[in-house]
């Protein structure tokens, strides 16, 4: 006999699926970024195309009749950045536009459920500035620069530009603004580098959740650490770790059982093909995960780098 699933159960399951918003930073790949505060010459431009596959389980409140919940998502991103000189310090502006497509599967009260979504994700903008240890430098000055201790700060902002339908509980976009202030520390020791960063995600309310409900979320803290080894030909490899905690959400003032506490470990390899072309490969996996997502990510990006005015000079007759 076919099992009838109560509407209340389906509602609770669908409400949990909105947790995809909690691991959206993982899909974009911007949360696990070694060398985020390493200085570069003023006027350096950066363009990157990346792809990542993200597969894993979704972990829910044990009281919910949800088992075997998994996500298989592909993320494609375009990124453009530029190094600036601000008040005599090195600064960087970065814009990222993601496109996501995801399959989510699970069993609710012994009945299989499937959801599929695809579309543009929320655009991300980041402004970072070195406040100690890295003055603004020309290409010639940078060639003789010896990195030691660097302290930097950044502000990342997500814009509610992604695909969103208030009549659907599972969306690519989040229909809210996000802000993440962060401070980072880099210490060079010969060919090695120790890096760490601590920040917190702050979000505005989603006033169009499931129709006319209001969804809010408490701050989500993040900490990341990297051990970097410089390789010949300006290549490098890094061991990476990140920790997230917090982020419990509320719908119309009612708490959801979606507190996030997770640790992810991984590695990143950057290979310089030419002075202006770099390929980066990354792998991350969940080591500890409570309510939230236990995602394994594999990504690759192709990056083009050039100095301001360099392309025009090369194209002159």
| Interval 240-268: pLDDT, tens | 999 989 988 898 998 877 778 888 899 99
pLDDT of res. 19: 39
Going along the chain, which residue ranges are E strands? 44-59, 66-86, 89-108, 111-120, 123-132, 149-159, 178-189, 192-203, 206-209, 213-217, 220-230, 236-246, 249-251, 254-255, 260-274, 277-289, 292-307
Name the DSSP letter for residue 160.
Answer: S
Question: What distance in Å separates the CA atoms of residue 15 and residue 258, rounded to the nearest whole number?
Answer: 10
**Tokens representing residue 225 in the block:** 């650490």
Per domain, the residue ranges of the chain are: 7-315
Torsion, Cα 254 244 69 53, to 10 degrees, reads 140
Say what the pLDDT of residue 299 is: 93
Closest CA to 78 of 303, 270, 306: 303
CA-based end-to-end distance of the chain: 79
User: What is the mean pLDDT of the segment spanning 121-147?
Assistant: 92
Among 184-193, 277-286, 291-300, whose mean pLDDT is lowest?
291-300
pLDDT at 29: 39
The residue behind tokens 């129709």 is: 211
Q: What pTM did the predictor assign?
A: 0.86
Give the pLDDT confidence of 298-309 residue by residue, as tens digits: 999 999 999 876
Could you tell me which CATH number the domain at 7-315 has?
Answer: 2.40.128.130
pLDDT at 293 over 70: no
Lowest mean pLDDT among 23-32, 82-91, 102-111: 23-32
Taking the C-alpha atoms of 251, 257, 260 and 262 in order, what is their torsion angle to the nearest 10 degrees?
A: -160
């Amino acid at each position: 006999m076919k099992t009838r699933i109560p509407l209340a159960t389906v509602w609770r399951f669908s409400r949990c699926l909105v947790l995809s918003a909690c691991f959206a930073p993982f899909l974009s790949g911007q949360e696990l970024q070694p060398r985020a505060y390493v200085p570069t010459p003023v006027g350096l431009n950066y363009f990157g195309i990346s792809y990542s596959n993200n597969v894993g389980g979704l972990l829910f409140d044990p009281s919910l009749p949800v088992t075997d919940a998994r996500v298989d998502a592909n993320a494609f991103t375009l990124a453009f950045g530029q190094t600036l000189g601000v008040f005599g310090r090195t600064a960087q502006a970065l814009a990222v536009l993601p496109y996501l497509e995801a399959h989510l599967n699970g069993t609710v009260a012994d009945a299989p459920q499937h959801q599929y979504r695809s579309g543009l994700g929320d655009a991300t903008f980041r402004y970072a500035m070195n406040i100690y240890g890295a003055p603004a430098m020309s290409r010639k000055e940078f060639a003789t620069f010896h990195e030691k201790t660097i302290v930097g700060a950044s502000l990342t902002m997500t814009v509610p530009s992604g695909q969103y339908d208030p009549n659907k509980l599972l969306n690519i976009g989040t229909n809210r603004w996000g802000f993440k202030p962060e401070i980072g520390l880099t210490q060079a020791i010969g060919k090695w580098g120790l890096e760490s960063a601590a920040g917190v995600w702050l979000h505005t309310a989603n006033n169009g959740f499931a129709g006319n409900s209001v969804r809010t979320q408490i701050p989500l803290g993040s900490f990341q650490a990297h051990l970097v080894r410089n390789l010949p030909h300006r290549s490098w490899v890094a061991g990476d770790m990140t920790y997230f905690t917090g982020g419990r959400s509320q719908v119309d003032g009612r708490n959801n059982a979606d507190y996030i506490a997770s640790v992810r470990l991984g590695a990143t390899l950057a290979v310089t093909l030419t002075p202006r072309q770099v390929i980066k490969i990354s792998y991350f996996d969940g080591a500890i995960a409570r309510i939230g997502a236990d995602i394994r990510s594999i990504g690759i990006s192709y990056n083009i780098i050039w100095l301001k005015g360099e392309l025009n000079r090369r194209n002159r007759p």
